[in-house]
A and B are shown apart, each in its own frame.
Chain A
Amino acid sequence: MKPQQNILPDDDGSHRLIGISLGACVMFFLILTRLWYLQIIDTENLMDQSESNRLRFVPVAAPRGAIVDRNGKVLVSNTPSFSVAVIPQDVKNKDELVGNLARYLKLDRQEIVDKWTKGQGRAKYYPLVVASGITRDQMEFLEENRLSLSGVNIEMKPIRAYANGELAAHLLGYLGEVSEDELGTERYKDYNAGDYTGKSGIERSWESFLHGTDGGRQIEVDARGRFLRTVEETNSMVGNTVMLTIDVEMQKAAEEALAGRAGAAVAMDVNTGEILAFASSPNFDPALFTGRIPADKWKGYLEDEKRPLENKALRGMYPPGSTFKIVTAIAGLEEGLIDEHTAVDCPGYYKFGNATFRCWDKKGHGHVELRKALRESCDVYFYKLAERLGVDRIAAYARKLGLGAPLGVGLDNEKGGLIPTQAWKLKRFGKRWYSGETLPVGIGQGYVLTTPIQLASMISTVANEGTVFQPHLVKKVVDSDGKVIKEFQPQVLQKAALKPQTYKLIKDGLFAVVNEPHGTGGMARLSEVKVAGKTGSSQVVKLRAVKGDIPYKYRDHALFVGYAPYEKPEIAVAVIVEHGEHGGSAAAPVAGRVLRAYFEQKGVIKKPVPKKAVTAGEGEGSGPGAPAPAPGSPAAPAGGVPAATLPAPPAAKPAADRPQVH
């Protein structure tokens, strides 16, 4: 045995070996601690991260619910739209594929390449839409040529189909992609970029019911984003059907009557507040807004002076003009300032201080009492009444009738109009109210502003004698199984609580407006049903000085509010024709058409099936012509001519307690 050969004479290094061993143990313990941290303490977090690494959610949009009219006629539904998508991970030869697609679809090569490049950042399993809205023929052609198109998917996506084209476009609204700003909001918290949502009208207000429940697939991908398998799939649930209170025939009638002009017409059930027609003219094409609207169309809409994009029935604020005289008259009667015999002399103007307020008829109306004042729309009568009432008392009655605040029809951005008071002016302008300002308020000018829907509600309240219903557009919501989810009952907003005598006198006057000689609303008359109403023309600008042809945008707005049947009111109508000049000639016929459609639907009026009948009907309407002259032609069968024998309506109850007014 050799002597032990030490590293150092006095040191075999064994204590350092122990040190090294301990060092190794410490290092391993450190690693173990770290493993403990990762695998025991932080494991849930890291597990989640590994899951989100491999799992992706591909949403599948639910088909939207349909919108139907009160009789179940479809207004908006869905139609399949085919689009061509490529799935990059399955494409073998990109260049060749682009070439084939361009040839088959007759598209520009570059267009396809651009769309492809734009979507390059996404995962490779994600279908990349290169052409949308292809025709069925094109789709079939692609299907036949599948072999040369590996990596191409034809996707079916439901898009909105508007059964009647532009009909009721403002009411129905249009769809669009959720905007970036909206994505961050509570309302859209469940939406993803690229999802469609209602942007206006019913589509917007009833989004949560119409949208349905999106489905989706949970898929597994590898590190390169390639699709491996579907882990889980949830089906989408079609949205609910929204049944409107609208009657599509009446809506059509209203829109046809307004065609070519700017304006709005609203028809309402006076006993429930259900809106039967809700027209704003001109319309726009809602289908254009899904996807990208062509620039020239958009520009056209924006530059059109008739403002097709504005929902005038909901948001148009117009001076009510003479239709407001109903309010002034009610205020006068209720406050005891006038009765049916209170008379005023109208020389064609009214001097107030050193200002002269003109009556619309320069010749003057002579001796005027309430009935005549309404029938012939004498301004002087109402100037004087307004002066005695003062603005605040007029405002109080306007509010009782539901004016001056949004009614809550259930669409976004409803306007409230404006009913001025002394306090309002002080607050708004910091100036006190001048009594001279009260006079125009009495005839619905000055500061007064109302929306068509408010006017319809107002005349409806007069018709039903005191109940302000909440106007509403939706009758019920039904789910895909036909189960009713929501049903709307009439809602009473407030009661006007006026004396029965007041209604009687006002209604009598409104009857005269439509049915008597010198009445301004003759063109709303129907042969089979008695109509009552009030015309109005509201100044856009004070431009009486202009001679000759007044430029379109300075012409007066034409209005008409009315209801029918006179004896037992069912339906109220409010019409405004922008720059239509005269309520009697421009707005009243529109109301007449809407009312006619209503009674045709009910079967009270026979539908004019032969073309001839239509012209006959119209001849009757336009025959009596303008407010002034009594119809000379005996074409009109019923209500038109016999003004003299008029106040003996053989109808129901109102006749009994009605005094003979003349």
Chain B
Amino acid sequence: MFDRRLFTNFDWTLLVVVILISAFGVVNIYSATSSYREVGHPYYLKQIYWIVAGVVLCLTVCSLDYHMLEDFAYWLYGGVLFLLVLVLVAGKTSMGATRWIHLGFFTVQPSEPMKIVIIITFARFFSRYPVFKGLTLRDLLYPLMLLGAPVLLIMKQPDLGTAILVAMIAWTILFFVGVRWSALATICAAAIPVIYGGWRFVLHDYQKKRIYNFLNPDLDPQGSGYHIIQSKIAVGSGGTFGKGFLHGTQSQLRFLPEQHTDFAFSVFGEEWGFVGCLVMLILYLFLILWGLGIAKRCNDRFGALLAVGVCAMLFWHIVINMGMVIGLFPVVGVPLPFFSYGGTSMVTSMIGVGILLNISMRRFMF
């Protein structure tokens, strides 16, 4: 199973880019948390542990042939879906949301693996599904059911950010497979009453408030609009070259909310300025395009679908997080892959990269 070709075909570029981004992340977390009074290990150190763990996991993932996933796809899907149901029934509630469940000695957040699992599931579904001139409405019935179940469960937790992400990943795969314009139009038309209903009956007040505040943050500058305003101030005040490492006043004086996690990029923007942000954007864009290149070069349908899915996952995380930080999107709790502090995000993203590496190095296997 361990072919020497695997090693010679190993996609070093991809791994280097990821580690480079992660390294920037660590440096940034060091600055973002330098004003914290920490207990135990400092955050940047813990992030390094997570990166190491992530890389190990990533290499583990790519050491196993991804085609195995094709066989387990629905089992994985069923298992994670079951956990999502379990969360709602017996989950741990913190800050108004029920996202975690105790599994013996540790807790898991099943909405997170769902991001990967939905990719595998869709890849499995469409790898054996004949499509002619795009998916029709009828073709979409099962995939949308597969998607709808976890999305609704995640929204119920409530975790709007993850629900949107899962949906966006799935739709990107659908777009890659090809959807007929007539089907798309019908769904859009149907979506209007659904969105209205969702707004009225499903969304929580705090979620609505976030959307209101995104539309007009000045409504409540000290309250819920605070995050967006402070983040925009931080990024903008960085100017062309930034205020310098450890010299961002917005972050060092803690005007930014959650500055080592969801708003890490705003710390970076303040301290490194437009030039720093440009470098980060180029790295991320390179990562995405490289990933899509892997999909293109991949010889089997399942692999291509998987690669596109992983790219979609990373892409939407990046876009939604950055959009939120610079005030383009409402505040939803979406971390910036490899860059925000947090083990969960790191693990998920690294598994994604593992899958990409896996596909990349096996492209000549068939």
Interface residues of A (CB under 8 A from B): 1-2, 4-9, 11, 13-14, 16-17, 19-21, 24-25, 27-28, 30-32, 34-36, 38-40, 42-43, 45-47, 49-51, 53-54, 220-224, 228
- Whether B63 is near chain A, meaning CB under 8 Å from some CB there, is no
User: Is the pair A35, B285 in contact by a Cβ cutoff of 8 Å?
Assistant: no
Docked pose: A4 CA to B296 CA in angstroms: 12
Closest to A32 in B: B281
Binary flags per residue of B175-193, CB closer than 8 Å to A gives 1, else 0: 1111000000000000000
Within 8 A of A (CB), among B225-252: 230, 232-240, 249-250
Tell which of B177, B240, B295 touches A40, judged by Cβ atoms closer than 8 Å: B240
User: Is the pair B237, A43 in contact by a Cβ cutoff of 8 Å?
Assistant: yes
Q: Least Cβ distance of A171 to chain B in Å? A: 49
- Whether B209 is near chain A, meaning CB under 8 Å from some CB there, is no
- Whether B253 is near chain A, meaning CB under 8 Å from some CB there, is yes
B contact residues around A223 at 8 Å (CB) = 253-255
User: Is the pair B131, A38 in contact by a Cβ cutoff of 8 Å?
Assistant: no
Q: Least Cβ distance of A220 to chain B in Å? A: 7
Docked pose: A74 CA to B334 CA in angstroms: 71
- Whether B335 is near chain A, meaning CB under 8 Å from some CB there, is no
A contact residues around B269 at 8 Å (CB) = 35, 38-39
Interface centre among A27, A35, A228 (most CB of B within 10 A): A35
Closest to B255 in A: A223
- Whether B292 is near chain A, meaning CB under 8 Å from some CB there, is yes
Docked pose: A27 CA to B304 CA in angstroms: 22
Closest to A47 in B: B237
- Given A20-B176, A45-B236, A54-B253, 12 further pairs, Cβ under 8 A: A2-B299, A4-B299, A9-B132, A13-B177, A20-B172, A21-B292, A24-B292, A35-B326, A43-B239, A53-B233, A53-B249, A223-B255
Name B's interface SS: helix
Q: Least Cβ distance of B234 to chain A in Å? A: 7
B contact residues around A51 at 8 Å (CB) = 237, 249
In the complex with contacts A24-B292, A53-B255, A46-B301 CB distance below 8 A: no
User: Is the pair A13, B232 in contact by a Cβ cutoff of 8 Å?
Assistant: no
Interface residues on B, range: 35 or more
Interface centre among A24, A25, A32, A36 (most CB of B within 10 A): A24
B contact residues around A40 at 8 Å (CB) = 239-240, 274
Docked pose: A176 CA to B153 CA in angstroms: 65
Q: Least Cβ distance of A91 to chain B in Å? A: 19
A contact residues around B240 at 8 Å (CB) = 39-40, 43
User: Is the pair A46, B236 in contact by a Cβ cutoff of 8 Å?
Assistant: yes
A contact residues around B326 at 8 Å (CB) = 31, 34-35, 38
Interface residues of B (CB under 8 A from A): 35, 126, 130-133, 172, 175-178, 230, 232-240, 249-250, 253-255, 269-270, 273-274, 277-278, 281, 284-285, 288-289, 292, 295-296, 299-301, 304-305, 308, 311, 315, 319, 322-323, 326-328, 366
In the complex with contacts A39-B235, A46-B237, A50-B237, A32-B278 CB distance below 8 A: yes
User: Is the pair A14, B250 in contact by a Cβ cutoff of 8 Å?
Assistant: no
Give the total number of A-B pairs whose CB atoms are below 8 A apart.
144
User: Is the pair B233, A7 in contact by a Cβ cutoff of 8 Å?
Assistant: no
B contact residues around A2 at 8 Å (CB) = 299, 366
A contact residues around B300 at 8 Å (CB) = 5
Tell which of A6, A21, A30, A46 touches B233, judged by Cβ atoms closer than 8 Å: A46
Docked pose: A46 CA to B236 CA in angstroms: 6
User: Is the pair B132, A39 in contact by a Cβ cutoff of 8 Å?
Assistant: no
Q: Least Cβ distance of B334 to chain A in Å? A: 14
Docked pose: A222 CA to B250 CA in angstroms: 9
In the complex with contacts A35-B274, A40-B274, A221-B253, A49-B237 CB distance below 8 A: yes
A to B CB contacts below 8 Å, 29 in the list: A1-B366, A7-B301, A7-B304, A16-B175, A16-B176, A17-B295, A19-B175, A20-B172, A20-B175, A20-B176, A20-B311, A32-B281, A34-B326, A34-B327, A35-B326, A40-B240, A43-B237, A43-B239, A46-B233, A46-B237, A47-B236, A49-B233, A50-B270, A51-B237, A54-B249, A54-B255, A222-B35, A222-B255, A223-B254
Docked pose: A45 CA to B239 CA in angstroms: 11
A contact residues around B273 at 8 Å (CB) = 39
User: Is the pair A47, B239 in contact by a Cβ cutoff of 8 Å?
Assistant: yes
Docked pose: A36 CA to B278 CA in angstroms: 10
User: Is the pair A24, B289 in contact by a Cβ cutoff of 8 Å?
Assistant: yes
User: Is the pair B292, A20 in contact by a Cβ cutoff of 8 Å?
Assistant: yes
Docked pose: A51 CA to B270 CA in angstroms: 13
B contact residues around A27 at 8 Å (CB) = 315, 319
Q: Least Cβ distance of B223 to chain A in Å? A: 14
Closest to A44 in B: B239
User: Is the pair A7, B131 in contact by a Cβ cutoff of 8 Å?
Assistant: yes
B contact residues around A17 at 8 Å (CB) = 176, 292, 295-296, 308
User: Is the pair A50, B308 in contact by a Cβ cutoff of 8 Å?
Assistant: no
B contact residues around A50 at 8 Å (CB) = 233-234, 237, 249-250, 255, 270
In the complex with contacts A28-B281, A32-B281, A38-B366 CB distance below 8 A: no
User: Is the pair B319, A31 in contact by a Cβ cutoff of 8 Å?
Assistant: yes
Docked pose: A6 CA to B303 CA in angstroms: 11
Docked pose: A252 CA to B176 CA in angstroms: 101
Docked pose: A25 CA to B284 CA in angstroms: 11
User: Is the pair B233, A8 in contact by a Cβ cutoff of 8 Å?
Assistant: no
Q: Least Cβ distance of B214 to chain A in Å? A: 14
A contact residues around B250 at 8 Å (CB) = 50, 53-54
B contact residues around A20 at 8 Å (CB) = 172, 175-176, 292, 308, 311
Interface centre among B236, B295, B319 (most CB of A within 10 A): B236
Docked pose: A35 CA to B236 CA in angstroms: 8
B contact residues around A4 at 8 Å (CB) = 299
User: Is the pair A5, B233 in contact by a Cβ cutoff of 8 Å?
Assistant: no
Docked pose: A28 CA to B236 CA in angstroms: 18
User: Is the pair A28, B274 in contact by a Cβ cutoff of 8 Å?
Assistant: no
Docked pose: A45 CA to B133 CA in angstroms: 52
A contact residues around B319 at 8 Å (CB) = 27-28, 31
User: Is the pair B299, A28 in contact by a Cβ cutoff of 8 Å?
Assistant: no
Closest to A38 in B: B236
Docked pose: A38 CA to B322 CA in angstroms: 13
A contact residues around B35 at 8 Å (CB) = 222
